[in-house]
A and B are shown apart, each in its own frame.
Chain A
Amino acid sequence: MAQIGGETIGRAVLPVRNALEETGEMMLLTAKTVSSALRPPYLYGSEFVSQFLFTLRICWLPLMITTFALSYGAPGLQAANILSVIGNLDRLGGFFVLAAVREIGPLITATVITGAAGTAITADLGARKIREELDALQVLGVDTVKNLVVPRFLALMIATGLFNIYAILFGLFGGVLAAVVHHQPLGPFWVTFFENTSTVDLWGSTLKTTIFGALIAIICCYRGMTASGGAEGVGRAVNQAVVGSLIAFGSFNYVFTQVLLATHPNILTIR
């Protein structure tokens, strides 16, 4: 009886144990990637450039459409509705500091990078793992972390940070359209936006998205490099990579927002 009880408990905690083990392995991979990126020889230059260009090419159109559409709908129309209830619709631009720069820009950039570039990385590495190409590389004495993970890690980090700027821009266009739909003059929109925005907001946003990029790259590379079980295994790896990335950067965003707002209370004052 005690035996059966123990087994049941064992089976119940198994998913938790697996998740903890995987998190630990991802942290090890992160440490290996960072140390391998810093230590010479720097062999990953050309792969880095090609990965960076690849990320730019597959992400720019989805990113443009999603940031514009989302900023027009959620913070644009609905926030304008709230502000018209309070009676200060001219402060919509000030709200877009919070919306486009601090929250929605970074989150939507990370979502698109996960969906477009992250899935492609996992599918690519997963297919190589299934066809035993990664094992073959290791037999040849090629360091897979240095040659495959490091360039993707750096490329995603930099691309996510840079794309965030464009996400903020297109988010602002969405806000401008919402202001026009509400028959508002655009002068107050820009004035309140530039009055309320600060350097802290911009570097906070850029730093946040750069770390999002690092999280996405590590999770997607890890899932790709540990794929197993034929064709379905690659698909399952992509599935786990996307879900893991969304949860990871969502949770990290909560912590980061808290820390930034708590350590820089002056960005909350209204101007």
Chain B
Amino acid sequence: MSEPLIGPREWLGSTGDIGQFSLRVLLDVWSLRVLHFFGETVRQAGILILSSAAVLWIQAFIIGLGTCGIEGAYFAQSQGAPAVAGIFAAWCDLREAIPYAFGYMMAAKIGTGIVAEIGAMRINDEIDALEVMGIDSMAFLCATRLLAGWIVLPFIYAAGMGVAYLASYIAVVKQVGAVSSGGYLLVFWQYQNPLDFLYSMTKAMSMATVIVLVACFFGYTASGGPVGVGKATAKSMVLNLVLVTLIGMLGTQVFWGTNPRTPIGG
């Protein structure tokens, strides 16, 4: 307990290991070696839908309601332009808050779940058993999970965005009620376009890729009994938090930067 779980030095040390590991997993998917285990991929995709989708949507609803809806409505009022709530909600939901909320929740739910599962397999020598049976354990455990995430998460994300839109609508129009339904929706849909959605999706899927890779790394290299699995889970969560935030910031800077892509102004 006295030694710090995570320190800057340790981060730098394991960055190289994580990079090497991630490259191998990505190569397994890229070279389609993962398709040897397509059944396992589909099974993992099913697990993602059944166990994680509901939690991700609940998180999207809470953030869409509180942060984007309520605060947006009050912010718009304080600027003397209640109709601006539509702009605030559209940008907050689509560009910033929901990618972050999804990223944090994916790190919490999917990431730590993967570490717990693969870490326990490592501790119980199940991964060694896989190797002895001649199965490529990295492709079987990590590449399948990555591919499953890529198959399922875009759809969960798109549906979650819908949930957040609904929540913001409820908060701004039904609860605060400073703008009419038509006035809100007009501005709301004017201030977004398919390209924005594609950028937002790119952000969220980069987060998902990093989260799955980091989680697989910490699970695959866990050691030291039940304590080790717990520590690896905790470490992966901290690293994922930081990486999700950095990806979110870089995405905003690259995609929108100081060019807001608005339907008005120059």
For A54, list chain B residues within 8 Å (CB): 1, 4
Contact in complex: B233, A86 (CB < 8 Å): no
Q: Which positions 6-29 of chain B face chain A at CB distance < 8 Å?
A: 6-8
Q: Mark B103-138, 1 if CB is under 8 A from A, else 0.
A: 011011100110111011001100000000000000
Within A218-242, which residues are at the interface with B (CB < 8 Å)? 230-239, 242
Looking at the complex, which one of B62, B116, B225 makes contact with A236 (CB distance below 8 Å)? Answer: B116
Residues of chain B lying within 8 A (CB to CB) of residue A237: 230
B35 at the interface (CB under 8 A from A): no
B81 at the interface (CB under 8 A from A): yes
Of B140-148, B151-159, B237-245, the stretch lying at the interface with chain A is B237-245
From the candidates B58, B105, B234, B253, name the one contacting A123 in the complex (CB within 8 A): B234
Asked if B30 is an interface residue, CB under 8 A from chain A, the answer is no
- List the A side residues contacting B79 at CB < 8 Å: 86, 88, 91, 270
B244 CB to nearest A CB, Å: 9
Decide if B100 touches A247 in the complex (CB within 8 Å): no
Interface of A, secondary structure class, is: helix
The interface residues of chain A lying within 8 Å CB-to-CB of B116 are 232, 234-236, 238-239
Nearest to B66 among chain A residues (CB) is A254
Which of B55, B80, B120, B123 is in CB contact (< 8 Å) with A243?
B55
CB <8 Å contact, B265 and A235 = no
Q: A131 to B226, Cβ gap below 8 A? A: yes
B154 to chain A, nearest CB (A): 22
In chain B, what residue has the closest Cβ to A271? B78
CB contacts (< 8 Å) of B4 on chain A: these are 54, 57-58
Residue B34 is within 8 A (CB to CB) of chain A in the complex? no
Q: Interface size of B by Cβ–Cβ distance < 8 Å?
A: 76
Task: Tell me whether B78 and A234 are in contact (CB under 8 A).
Answer: no
Q: Are A257 and B70 in contact (CB under 8 A)?
A: yes
Total residues of chain A contacting the partner, CB 8 A:
69
Is the beta-carbon distance between A268 and B78 smaller than 8 angstroms?
yes
Interface residues of B in 43-98 (CB under 8 A from A): 55, 58-59, 62-63, 65-67, 70-71, 74-75, 77-81, 84, 87-88, 91-92, 95-97
**Stretch from A4-12, A25-33, A75-83, A136-144 contacting the other chain:** A75-83
A230–B124 alpha-carbon span in the complex (Å): 10
**Residue A210 interfacial (CB < 8 Å):** no
Instruction: Considering the complex, give the chain A residue whose CB is closest to the CB of B250.
Output: A73
CB-defined contacts of B123 to chain A, threshold 8 Å: 231
A116 and B227 within 8 A (CB): no
On chain A, the residues within 8 Å of B97 by CB distance are: 74
B233 touches A239 (CB 8 A): yes
Do residues B241 and A103 form an inter-chain contact, with CB atoms below 8 A?
no
Asked whether any CB of chain A lies closer than 8 Å to the CB of B257, the reply is yes
6 contacts between A and B (CB under 8 A): A85-B87, A119-B234, A231-B229, A235-B115, A247-B62, A257-B66
Closest 7 CB pairs of A and B: A235-B116, A123-B230, A81-B260, A232-B120, A119-B234, A73-B249, A254-B66
